[in-house]
Every structure is written in structure tokens, then in C-alpha cells.
Amino acid sequence: MNVEETLEALRRKALHDPALKDALLATKNHPNSLGEFCRISTEAGFPLYDMDVIEYGESAYASMKRSTNGGGENSPLLEGEDDAYEMFLYELGTEGPLGCL
């Protein structure tokens, strides 16, 4: 599974497992939030590493940026779209992907 598939499978599991959901959401208050998130994810059977999540977020953001306004420097700022961890927590907290809000 790639990072996107792993995050989606983890989100689906967390929506049906309140203890996992609470543990993942609580990582936001941990000093090493992303590291703790990856540790909990891996223990739950969804192996993730800090740099994989960071690279996934940055790659997805770069792809979105290239697709808007020709991808030039004048393309709109998509604030927060490069942080896959924060986006995951947001979606988990709202109990659905951003497209379903």
C-alpha cells in the first residue's frame, strides 16, 4: 500500500475503533506529534514513517499547485494542503474526507 492508501485504510479503521481514533487525535498534543502518530499507526497495522507522510503531503501539494493556474508562482496559496498529518486529523475529527463535509 502507498501512503495515501495506508492513510485512508487507517482513517476507516479509526472511524470504527473509538480507542484508535482518540489515540490518533491525541497525537496533536504530543511533543513529537507526527512521530507518535506514525508509531500508533504502525502498531495498529498500518506502517507509516514520518518522512513518508511529509513527502506524500508535499508531493500532493506540488501536484495541486501545478494543476492550478498553470502552476506558476501566481497560483493561489493552498494553505495547509501540504500537511498530510494535519489534513488526516481534520478529516478524522469531522468523520469524513474533505469532499464529504
**Euclidean distance between CA atoms 3 and 31, whole angstroms:** 23
Tell me the percentage of the chain whose pLDDT exceeds 70: 67
pTM: 0.72
Q: Is the pLDDT of residue 13 over 80?
A: yes
What mean pLDDT is predicted for residues 53-62? Answer: 69
Q: Is the pLDDT of residue 34 over 80?
A: yes
Give the domain ranges of the chain.
3-100
Is the distance from CB of 20 to CB of 101 less than 8 angstroms?
Answer: no
Instruction: Look at residue 53 in the predicted model and tell me its pLDDT.
Output: 84
The pLDDT tens digits for 66-93 are 555 555 555 555 554 557 778 888 888 8
Is the distance from CB of 24 to CB of 41 less than 8 angstroms?
Answer: yes
Q: What three-state secondary structure class fits 97?
A: coil
